[in-house]
Structure 1
Amino acid sequence: MKLSLAHTLRHYDKKNIGKDILAGLIIMAVSIPISMGYALIAGLPAVYGLYGSVFPILAFALLSTSPQFIFGVDAAPAALIGSALLTLHVEAGSEEAMAVVPVLTFFAAVWLLAFSFMKAGKLVNYISAPVMGGFITGICSTIILMQVPKILGGTAGTGELFELAKHIGQTAKHVNVPSILLGVASLVILLVAKKLVPKFPMAVVLMVAGACYTRFGNVQELGIQTLSKVETGLPKWQMPDFSVVSIREAVTVSLSVAVVIMAETLLAENNFAQKNGYRIDDNQEIFAFSIGNFLAAFTGCCPINGSVSRTAMGEQYQGRTQLTSLVAGLSMIVLLLCGTGFIAYLPVPVLTAIVISALIGATEFDLMARLWKVSRTECMIFAGAFFGVLLLGTINGVLIGILLSFAEVIIRTAKPSTCFLGIQPGHKHFRDLKESSQIHALSGVLIYRFSSNLFFANVQVLKNDIEDHIKPDTKAVILDAGGIGSLDITAADCLKRLHQLLKEKGIRFYMTEHISDVNEQLRKLGLGYLIEEGCVRRTIHIALKDMGINRPYPLEDGVDNEERSASRKRADNRVQEFVWAFGSDAEKQIERQIEKQIVQLKESGDIEDLLHGRWAHMEELDEDEWLEHLEEHLKEIVNISGKDEHTLAMQIEEHRKQVHDRIAKNHPELAERFKERRHVLDVHLKERHPKVYELVLQSREKNERNR
């Protein structure tokens, strides 16, 4: 594995130094209550949370390829270690706990080192954006619920949703009103400042104000909690005592911790990377996790994890590189050596509000709302990952997320994109029959496109679609396999049965358009005889020629399909491009485009640009419909442009006349269709805007008299 040292500090842009230093100082400050609290959860004295915020963070900053992610003592590993101590019958906070925890941390680091050499980071590639979003939002929501009791005047909660809710309920029975007022006021100030002055370091201002209030105010009399005093000095370096716990138990417990650290941190890192447009090296990140935890083990700390809350805080204050982490780690050293007395002046409600504010910004409920509009399936996947973390914990949430990602892949491939193909009169390219009413199926031939690899979960879709659309006059079935790159034995057996069924009905079967590698797969799967019998052809056209069907192909219902000149084909290719582009929303989109141009007309005053539309080289049918929609806005355009409405109506009619003249000259076969369509558009205009319709009629009559 090729390592990159100080990756995010190379070619450093000096303009970021102020933001990085400020973000680092804020992260150091908010790490104090977070780290001390999680150290207690892990069964260690609170000061070890600060120790874990020094050397592991510095090592991670130099090894990480993520410019913004922050390492530190965090909830999930701390909770796992705390529960492991209970299983091992070790009392939290005891001398035995202080000996056992570094051993578990050491073996977690060993597992992480092994994962990096096994390139286990590839697993993250199989986690979808909805799973990542649900996972991060679940973690943020869990930590917020952990912090809520501290604003009420109690202690942080542990566990999952029901345990956290129970703890909040118990704390609510003995609330401290001044603590609530201070915490809620701080949170409101932070959220408002984030909206109004996002670059202002309001968190620093609140911490200084809180410390001053503690020093000169009546905090103790009001019962508002402050952080505990911390002894001065750096952690001592020593090798863990491996005799205090059996190796088998240490290896077993540490495996689950290492998996959580790898999965949770990589998921969160990739989420931030995707959101902010950069890439990370997953395997080097795992190596950085390992080194950070080795340093934690040698300084007596609990396992260290990536911190979503501190990363969100760094992002809020625009930290750009890992200089932020270096500043946080180095300033923590200064604090431990010189300023531990300051810690006791920090009010817990204020610091808790700062953490909650950062976590609210890291949640992705907006993604959930967007998914609800776009894809209910992906929205349910988001919700599954979210509630998995919230209800069952991080490790189970990771497993649920992975299972949901694989389920999503299977669901997508089990419902492939399919369509039946036809041809537009005078053209040679096959297109989806649903694309336009001008596309017609070939007489006696069923052409079916299947756009996915063919395997056990979706082959029945292909078989059922073809069987359901066979008609008494069907002479051949042609499978457009251009989207099929591979097939399994179940699919091969199904194709074999389909071929046999069609053969018994006297219907020829062809497979076309696929890459040559698929032919090799057909031979290996026992379908080589299809190639030998000529059922596998390179293109649809060759398959039709093999049946003796040549251009121009006969279409259903006797639709004329005569050969046309190149110029006529070129014009016809753009028929109803709005329908092709926007589907059933074509009319709404035309209206929306016109409304945008009317707004632009207020600034430009260019009527010609409005008449020709936003799309260059609009074909005749689309241009005619565009002008018809413009007529509905005639009075609005008159008011904006100041032009006489009769003049403007005549100008629009002149454009429509030019469109009709072009059609009559270049495409006489469509002229009659234009007349019919014009009548329909006039009826619509008369129904919607009778006054405008009367004005248009007057303009037409005047136009005819002038001619």
Structure 2
Amino acid sequence: MKVSLCKTIRPYEWKNLPKDLLAGLVIMAVSIPISMGYAQIAGLPAVYGLYGSVFPILLFALFSTSPQFIFGVDAAPAALVGSALVSLGIEGGSREALAAVPVLTFFVAVWLLVFYLCRAGKLVNYISAPVMGGFISGICTTIILMQVPKLFGGKAGVGELPELLEHIWESRTVFHLPSLLLGVGALVILLVSKKIIPKFPMAVLLMALGAIGTVVFQLEDLGIQTLAAVKPGLPAWSIPDFGSVPLKEAVTVSLSVAVVIMAETLLAENSFAQKNRYRINDNQEILAFAMGNLIASFTGCCPINGSVSRTAMGEQYQAKTQLTGIVAGLSMIVLLLCGTGFIGYLPIPVLTAIVISALLGATEFDLAVRLWKVSRTEYLIFAGAFFGVLMLGTINGVLIGIILSFSEMIIRTSKPSRGFLGIQPGHRHFRDLKESDQIHAIEGVLIYRFSSNLFFANIQVLQSDIEDNLREDTKAVILDASGIGSMDITAADRLKLLYESLKEKNIRFYITEHIAGLNEQMRQLGLGCLIQEGCVRRTTHIALKDMGITRPYPLEGGVDNEQRSASRKRADNRVQEFVWAFGSQAEEEIERQIRCQIEQLKKTGDVEYLLHGRWSHMEDLDQDEWLEHLEEHLKEIVNISGKDEKTLAIRLEKHRQEVHDRIAREHPELAERFRERRHLLDEHLKEKRPEVYELVIQLRKKISDEQREKEEQQLH
């Protein structure tokens, strides 16, 4: 498996350097409170959170194929490790915890290497956008709820929604108004600045002002908490003490943590990748996770995860490459060596506001709103993943979302698009009978198109559709299998039963239009007899010919199906393009298009553009509909263009007359239908614009009189 190092950095575009540098410094600063807090949740001293933001983030930046994702100590793995220590009877922050946590981190790295070798990254392909959106929003909301108590002087919470809400309620006993005012004020400033000056590093400014405020105004005397002071120096390197944790517990606990890291980080990375239109190598990302955790185990850190909050912060400040992560890691080294005194001056409410602001920007509730409008099923999948993460934790939320996605896929494929086909007089291609009343079934033949792979969940639909539509005069059933790429054994057995049932009724059965590979599947599944008996044909036309039915095909109801020459233009008796493109909204779309053209007329004064516009090559009946809509706006067009009303009306009417003459000449069988339709359009115009209708009738009479006089002169 090929591994590409520093993929997002080489070749580097130097124009991105200021953005990457700034984002890296911001991420380093934001990592201080986040990392220290989560290290304590994992049962380690707070400083180990800073250690986890040095070498793991640097190694991840070298291996990662994501240009923006950031690695670091994060909520889910820290909480899992912390709870594991409790189950093992190890007290957080103790010497035993300092020995046990690196062992768990080491085995997490081993599991991630196994996932990499097994190419487990491809599993993310089976996770849909609603699952990703719900997952990310759930993670962000969980971390926000964890941070809320810190806004008013409390400590960060852990667990799922019930525990977090309970913790927030209990934290009311330590409620501190100055902390709340400072934290909420900082949050409001951050949210407003995102809208007004999104590129300004407001987070950095607020941290600097917070530190200055601590020194100048003695914020600690007001009861506002600051971060704990940290001793200077880099982490010590050592091999984990594998005897500190029983092997069985180490392997099982680390497996669950590794699964969470892989699922959570891959999902989040792909979500950011889709949003920002780039691609990542899922499998190499797992290797990057493994390398980051391996080096973390040798520096005594807890398991490291991809950080949504820090990535969102980098996105806010337009980070472009993994140089951002390298800058964050190197600047953390400088801080640990030279600037740990600065950490003790940072007000916790301000830092909490920075984290919450970044997380709010990473949520995808706008996707939920969009899904509610277009697909309630996918909205429920989003909600399932969101509440799953919120109520049951990261991994359970992902599993719920995946289960919902697969359930929705099975439901959708069990009721695929399907329909019965026929032919329009004079045409060669088979089309859905519901598409137009001019499409007629071939006499005695049932042509059925099924647009999905056949399997146990949808074969009953196919069988019922065909059997329910058989009639006494049905001579053959043709299955258009152009949308069928595969079938399972259940579908094959049911198809064979259907074939035998039809054969007993002296009804021939054909399968047509499918890919050649389906024939091999049918032979393997026991349907070779259908191929041998000539029931499997390449096209529907060949199947009909095999029955002795040739063009022009006899249509039901005795409809004339005259064979037309290739040079003769074909037409429908309805508004083809707009009905096809816009369906039930066709009339509204014509009106919208004309409104756009009238707006264009205001700018250009080009009346000619109104007669054609964007949809210039339209069928004749489309043009007639278009002109009818234009007549409704005649007064408005006159006012804008300054043209004479009668002149414009005459032009429109002459254009419509040309369309009518062309239809009468090329498609005499449609002329009567055209006249009926013209009458309906006139009634519509009379109802909406009676004054225009009167003018049109007068002009139409005038044009008709002129034509009559011209014909009489030609006769004489």
TM-score, with normalisation over the residues of structure 1?
0.98
Distance, in Å, in 2 between the alignment partners of 1:697 and 1:225 is 84
Partner of 1:422, secondary structure, is strand
- The answer as to whether partners of 1:147 and 1:352 remain within 8 angstroms in 2 is yes
Counterpart of 2:431, as a letter, is: R
- The answer as to whether partners of 1:120 and 1:283 remain within 8 angstroms in 2 is yes
- Asked if 1:161 corresponds to 2:148, the answer is no
Partner residue in 1 for 2:331: 331
**Displacement after TM superposition at 1:570 (Å):** 4.5
- The answer as to whether partners of 1:484 and 1:514 remain within 8 angstroms in 2 is yes
Structure 1 residues 113 and 552: alpha-carbon distance in aligned structure 2, compared to 1, 3 A threshold: same
- The answer as to whether partners of 2:23 and 2:324 remain within 8 angstroms in 1 is yes
Partner residue in 2 for 1:681: 681
Distance, in Å, in 2 between the alignment partners of 1:673 and 1:382 is 49
**Displacement after TM superposition at 1:23 (Å):** 0.4
Partner of 1:401, secondary structure, is helix
Deviation per CA, 1:581-608, whole angstroms, max 9, x where unpaired?
Answer: 1111111111121122222222122111
Partner residue in 2 for 1:63: 63
Distance, in Å, in 2 between the alignment partners of 1:572 and 1:397 is 52
Partner residue in 2 for 1:622: 622
- The answer as to whether partners of 1:664 and 1:671 remain within 8 angstroms in 2 is yes
Distance, in Å, in 2 between the alignment partners of 1:221 and 1:650 is 87
Partner residue in 1 for 2:29: 29
- The answer as to whether partners of 1:613 and 1:626 remain within 8 angstroms in 2 is no
- Asked if 1:497 corresponds to 2:497, the answer is yes
**Displacement after TM superposition at 1:702 (Å):** 4.0
- The answer as to whether partners of 1:19 and 1:319 remain within 8 angstroms in 2 is yes
Counterpart of 2:264, as a letter, is: E
- Asked if 1:11 corresponds to 2:11, the answer is yes
- Asked if 1:469 corresponds to 2:473, the answer is no
Equivalent residue runs for 1:509-658 within 5 Å: 509-571=509-571, 576-658=576-658
Partner residue in 2 for 1:397: 397
**Displacement after TM superposition at 1:638 (Å):** 2.3
Partner residue in 2 for 1:269: 269
Uncovered stretches (5+) of structure 2, i.e. residues with no partner: 708-716
Deviates more, 1:62-71 or 1:569-578: 569-578
Partner of 2:447, secondary structure, is strand
- The answer as to whether partners of 1:427 and 1:569 remain within 8 angstroms in 2 is no
Partner of 1:452, secondary structure, is coil
- Asked if 1:486 corresponds to 2:480, the answer is no
- The answer as to whether partners of 1:57 and 1:326 remain within 8 angstroms in 2 is yes
Deviation per CA, 1:222-256, whole angstroms, max 9, x where unpaired?
Answer: 22221111111111011111111111111111010
Partner residue in 1 for 2:224: 224
**Displacement after TM superposition at 1:689 (Å):** 2.2
Partner residue in 2 for 1:80: 80
Partner of 1:566, secondary structure, is coil
Partner residue in 2 for 1:438: 438
Deviates more, 1:622-631 or 1:406-415: 406-415
- Asked if 1:353 corresponds to 2:382, the answer is no
Distance, in Å, in 1 between the alignment partners of 2:48 and 2:75 is 14
Deviation per CA, 1:73-117, whole angstroms, max 9, x where unpaired?
Answer: 000000000000000000011111111101100110111111111
**Displacement after TM superposition at 1:173 (Å):** 4.1
Counterpart of 1:439, as a letter, is: I
Partner residue in 1 for 2:301: 301
Counterpart of 2:122, as a letter, is: K
Partner residue in 1 for 2:668: 668
- The answer as to whether partners of 1:161 and 1:391 remain within 8 angstroms in 2 is yes
Counterpart of 1:336, as a letter, is: L
Uncovered stretches (5+) of structure 1, i.e. residues with no partner: none
- Asked if 1:416 corresponds to 2:416, the answer is yes
Deviation per CA, 1:265-303, whole angstroms, max 9, x where unpaired?
Answer: 111111111111111111111111111101111111000
Amino-acid identity (%): 76
Distance, in Å, in 2 between the alignment partners of 1:696 and 1:187 is 65
- The answer as to whether partners of 2:438 and 2:572 remain within 8 angstroms in 1 is no
Distance, in Å, in 2 between the alignment partners of 1:46 and 1:662 is 85
**Displacement after TM superposition at 1:631 (Å):** 1.4
Partner of 2:8, secondary structure, is helix
Distance, in Å, in 2 between the alignment partners of 1:422 and 1:616 is 29
Deviates more, 1:587-596 or 1:443-452: 587-596
Partner of 1:32, secondary structure, is helix
**Displacement after TM superposition at 1:622 (Å):** 0.6
- The answer as to whether partners of 1:436 and 1:580 remain within 8 angstroms in 2 is no
Deviation per CA, 1:636-684, whole angstroms, max 9, x where unpaired?
Answer: 2223223232222222212111211211222222222111110010111
Counterpart of 1:57, as a letter, is: I
Distance, in Å, in 1 between the alignment partners of 2:637 and 2:74 is 61
Distance, in Å, in 1 between the alignment partners of 2:683 and 2:574 is 25
Deviates more, 1:562-571 or 1:91-100: 562-571
Partner residue in 2 for 1:447: 447
**Displacement after TM superposition at 1:331 (Å):** 0.5
Partner residue in 1 for 2:406: 406
Counterpart of 1:520, as a letter, is: E
Distance, in Å, in 2 between the alignment partners of 1:688 and 1:494 is 56
Partner of 1:536, secondary structure, is coil
Distance, in Å, in 1 between the alignment partners of 2:601 and 2:567 is 34
Deviation per CA, 1:333-370, whole angstroms, max 9, x where unpaired?
Answer: 01111111111111111111111111111111111111
Structure 1 residues 648 and 292: alpha-carbon distance in aligned structure 2, compared to 1, 3 A threshold: same
Counterpart of 1:444, as a letter, is: G
Partner residue in 2 for 1:186: 186
RMSD: 1.5
Deviates more, 1:352-361 or 1:81-90: 352-361
Distance, in Å, in 2 between the alignment partners of 1:588 and 1:549 is 43
Partner residue in 1 for 2:238: 238
- The answer as to whether partners of 1:139 and 1:394 remain within 8 angstroms in 2 is yes
Structure 1 residues 702 and 210: alpha-carbon distance in aligned structure 2, compared to 1, 3 A threshold: farther
Partner residue in 2 for 1:341: 341
Counterpart of 1:240, as a letter, is: P
**Displacement after TM superposition at 1:566 (Å):** 2.1
Partner residue in 2 for 1:93: 93
Distance, in Å, in 2 between the alignment partners of 1:234 and 1:256 is 30
**Displacement after TM superposition at 1:573 (Å):** 10
Distance, in Å, in 1 between the alignment partners of 2:372 and 2:120 is 32
Distance, in Å, in 1 between the alignment partners of 2:310 and 2:175 is 27
Deviation per CA, 1:498-550, whole angstroms, max 9, x where unpaired?
Answer: 11221222221111111122222222222222122221111101111111111
**Displacement after TM superposition at 1:412 (Å):** 2.4
